[in-house]
Amino acid sequence: MNPDETIDCSVHGRQPISFVCTHIAHGLLDGTTPGFVVAPEDDQLLPLGWCDECEAMVQQLGGDWKDEATERAEFKLLCALCYVEAKGIAISANRFRDLGNPSATD
C-alpha cells in the first residue's frame, strides 16, 4: 500500500487506503466481525486483512493466495479509519490474528 494513496470516505473524509476481504467489509456495516487476519510485511501500517473463513480457504488451497483465493475473497477498498474500526471490532471479540506475530492481539 502506498501511504500517499487516499480515498474520500463518506464517514471519515480523505484518508489513506487499505484493503480487506469482502466479509470484513460487510461485517463493518453491521458492527460484527468474521475475524481479522493479517500477515504484515516490511512494517506495513495497514496490511491486507482477511477473515477466518478466507484464511481457512487459503490453507485448503495450499497456504498461498492463489488467483482462486483472491477472487473468492473479493478484496474491498476501505479508508484507514474504517480499517482500524473493523480491526478494533475483531480485537474486542478476540478474533484478531497477526500471522507475522502470533502473540500480538492489537
- DSSP secondary structure of 47-70: --EE-HHHHHHHHHTTSS--HHHH
The verdict on residue 1 lying in a domain is: no
Q: How confident is the model at residue 100 (pLDDT cuts 50, 70, 90)?
A: confident
The verdict on residue 85 lying in a domain is: yes
The verdict on residue 70 lying in a domain is: yes
Q: Which of the pair, 84 or 64, is modelled with greater confidence?
A: 84
Cβ pair 75, 90 in contact under 8 A: no
The verdict on residue 103 lying in a domain is: no
The number of domains in the chain is 1
Average pLDDT over residues 26-31: 95
The verdict on residue 42 lying in a domain is: yes
Average pLDDT over residues 51-70: 93
The verdict on residue 20 lying in a domain is: yes
Q: Over 90: is that where the pLDDT of 96 sits?
A: yes
Cβ pair 18, 80 in contact under 8 A: yes
φ, ψ for residue 85, nearest 5 deg: -65, -45
Distance CA 49, CA 27 (A): 13
Expressed as residue numbers, the domain containing 70 is 6-98
